Amino acid sequence: MTKFLPFECDLDNFISNLKTHLATNNQRIEALLSQQEKSYVNFVKPLEMIDEYLEEFFTPLSHLNAVNNSEKTQKVYTESLPLITEYSTRLSQNINIYNAYKKILANEKKALNSEQTRVLKLNILNFELSGAHLDESTKQRLQEINIKKSELTNNFSQNLLDATNTYEYIITNEADIEGLPQSEIDNAKFDDNGVIKYRFTLQMPSYIAYMTYGKNREIREELYRAYVSRAPQNAKIIDEILALRNEMSQLLGFKNYAEFSLATKMAKDEKSVLNFLENLLDNSISQAKNELNELQNIAPYKLESHDTSYYAEILKKAQYDIDEEEYRPYFAQKNVVEGMFTFLNKLFNVTCKQVDEKLWHEKAYAYDVYENNILRARIYLDLEARESKRGGAWMHNWQTHCTDEKEKEQLASAFIVCNFPPSSDMNPSLLRHDDVVTLFHETGHTLHHILSEVNENEVSGVNGVEWDAVEFPSQFLENFAYEPQVLKMFAKHYKTNEIIPDTMINKLVRSKNFLSAMGMLRQLEFSLFDFQLHMKLCQSEAVQNLLDAIREKTALIKPPKYNKFQNGFAHIFSGGYAAGYYSYKWAEVLSADAFYSVIDEKIFDSKTAKQYQNLILHRGGSQSMQELFHELMGRDADTSQLLRLNGITK
């Protein structure tokens, strides 16, 4: 069995080591290609592992650049991107590998197992999507496009991070912080030469705090304006990225990038995606309008975009007598993590044991994961916000479960990264319930990767899973963060150890779908904008015009002209969701359906939960999610369960 890799990243020598690694890979690939008789064992498996080892080498750098960003990590990461992109593009266009894969699939069809067959079929598809079968000049242009795209997406992300970190709003008038929870006041407070002041930033915990509780409307608008107008230089980058994606798609024989994107997804065509989104919109719009009317009724003026979070909090308290701040003492980060592990143990017989390992930051820690008392994986948690860290939350896979060229088992590992309120020597990190949901979500992704029993790394864990199905396991798990018997496993007061009272749980559950139809419209706006943006080439003002047109249907409060949401839409311009943001809702249909089956079977007695573990978690990407889901539920997904989950009635 292969041991877990130590977390190491030699920044000083990374580029030279990377060049050596790539040169060695190229030599090994040439040697593999020179073999007269190629087979799955002597050709495909070694190539798979070459890719796996490169991913394992490069991941610590990309991880560091995201969680401990510095001038040095930026420099090294930026220098490495063209090297990696050129290498991977050339490899993905190598006609000899492509032909060898096709020949092996034809010759060994009866001898190959289902995992190996899927590896070959997905590789052949990916080669064709990379242009391996095209002429040399076209392949050269595709390589140039890929290198430029990787540079632009990195610049987009860095611009956003820099803009987020640069901004601060200083409050000196005590009246302007009235109504904020004491913990948020303490986090914002600083001493400026004997004068107490309060600093608010665009980091999520700080920004959300003032937008939710800050009474001063002018300050809310100023913070909102700063947030939605971040990184204006990204507008030019967006134009370049869209033009390159469109050119690449047409070179590969697709009419647009949306069509190209769907080649590797569950949704069969553009019409299916648009119909799906518009159907959800039609079912949600009436309830969303009613929700907005309720908000407007308690506001003394016409609501603007920077008002909704503030009045939503007031309405939530009025309707449910619920104050998010009252809950935070029950959601101390350490208790939530340990309680979540207790839940996973009871549901899946998974045990997590902390290990002593020196990591990239003092707030990061590692756990070994056992399933049925057998060591399966290692996970790394880095959960608190800091300036050097990219915003948001994510799971990043590092090692993948597989057997190597010598048939030795390799165990999996992954990172869970969040941006929760920071802890201090005086105060623990106290989470909002939304943070708890986020932690469950990212852990759902993690389980999908690390509990794989697949032996071929390219279809193990999250690898090989259709992009519009990849959110299924994360959304499935996050739903349990509202279940009373699950909450009681970790929701205990950090000072008194008192378990959260039933009255508080009931309020939380009842408030779960508060303004859910408005939230649905917001996500549909993002999804429709992303997908339609990639159905034809949009440039400059056309990008904003498209967003404005979609907002005519989805935005019940018209955003101000200075709102340039697209410049911060990292999911599609520096993440993997281009022409695929709809995947969140697509996968949510699967997750809602499976979740309610488990709930209806009383959670811990659920046969569906065990089947989910065996089919979805253990099989990873070794089969189409369409097939796996059908095997799990015995039928196609029931879309009405998504509306049920969101409390939306037709």
The predicted structure's pLDDT at residue 495: 95
Strand partners, 374: 371
The predicted structure's pLDDT at residue 639: 84
Return d(Cα 577, Cα 16) in angstroms, integer: 32
Return d(Cα 400, Cα 72) in angstroms, integer: 28
Six-digit token pair at 487? Answer: 């909450």
Crossing angle of helices 433-450 and 333-348, rounded to 10°: 40
In the predicted model, what is the mean pLDDT of residues 79-101? 94
- Of the candidates 532, 515, 646, 641, the one whose C-alpha atom is nearest the C-alpha of residue 582 is 532
The residue with tokens 């939304």 is 434
State pTM to two decimals: 0.84
Q: Which H or E run contains 146?
A: helix 136-166
Q: In the structure, what pLDDT confidence band is assigned to residue 492 with cuts at 50, 70 and 90?
A: very high
The predicted structure's pLDDT at residue 640: 86
Catalytic residue, chosen from 270, 442, 466, 471, is 442
Return d(Cα 375, Cα 372) in angstroms, integer: 9
The residue with tokens 């430029």 is 148
Q: Which fold has domain 329-515+584-645?
A: Neurolysin; domain 3 (1.10.1370)
Question: 326 catalytic, yes or no?
Answer: no
* Distance set, CA 85 to CA 20, 150, 159 (Å): 15, 7, 21
Six-digit token pair at 408? Answer: 């030795």
Burial of 254 (C-beta count, 10 Å sphere; 0-12/13-18/19+)? middle
In the predicted model, what is the mean pLDDT of residues 203-227? 96
Q: What percent of the chain shows pLDDT beyond 70?
A: 100
What percentage of the chain's residues is helix, strand, coil (to nearest 5)?
60, 10, 30
Six-digit token pair at 464? Answer: 């090989």
pLDDT beyond 80 at 319: yes
Q: In the structure, what pLDDT confidence band is assigned to residue 575 with cuts at 50, 70 and 90?
A: confident
Residues 6+ apart with CB under 8 A from 316: 322, 324, 511, 514
Going from N- to C-terminal start, the domains of the chain cover 14-92+94-133, 167-228, 329-515+584-645
Length of the chain counted residue by residue: 650
Output the average pLDDT for the chain. Answer: 95
Between CA 443 and CA 54, with CA 357 as vertex, the angle to 5 degrees is: 70
Q: What dihedral angle (degrees, nearest 10) is formed by the CA atoms of 434, 181, 175, 205?
A: -40
The residue with tokens 């959670």 is 603
In the predicted model, what is the mean pLDDT of residues 502-521? 94
**Residue 191 region, left (φ>0) first, then alpha (ψ -120 to 50), else beta?**
beta
Q: In the structure, what pLDDT confidence band is assigned to residue 609 with cuts at 50, 70 and 90?
A: very high
The predicted structure's pLDDT at residue 391: 85
The predicted structure's pLDDT at residue 632: 96
The predicted structure's pLDDT at residue 306: 98
Residues 6+ apart with CB under 8 A from 15: 76, 79, 80, 83
In the predicted model, what is the mean pLDDT of residues 152-168? 95
pLDDT beyond 90 at 322: no
- Of the candidates 203, 249, 447, 225, the one whose C-alpha atom is nearest the C-alpha of residue 340 is 447
Q: Which H or E run contains 370?
A: strand 365-371
Tell me, yes or no, if the two domains 14-92+94-133 and 329-515+584-645 fold the same way.
Answer: no
- Please give the single-letter amino acid code of residue 314: I
The predicted structure's pLDDT at residue 576: 87
Per-residue pLDDT tens over the stretch 348-373: 999 999 999 999 999 999 999 999 99
Please tell me which residue, 387 or 220, carries the higher pLDDT value: 220
Q: How far is CA 371 from the centre of its chain?
A: 25
**CATH class of the region 14-92+94-133:** mainly alpha
pLDDT beyond 90 at 502: yes
In the predicted model, what is the mean pLDDT of residues 469-490? 96
pLDDT beyond 80 at 1: no
Burial of 228 (C-beta count, 10 Å sphere; 0-12/13-18/19+)? middle
Phi then psi for residue 220, to 5 deg, are -60, -45
Say if residues 53 and 102 touch (Cβ distance below 8 Å).
Answer: no
- Of the candidates 358, 452, 356, 348, the one whose C-alpha atom is nearest the C-alpha of residue 400 is 452
Between CA 232 and CA 140, with CA 536 as vertex, the angle to 5 degrees is: 85
Burial of 382 (C-beta count, 10 Å sphere; 0-12/13-18/19+)? buried
pLDDT beyond 80 at 157: yes
The predicted structure's pLDDT at residue 265: 94
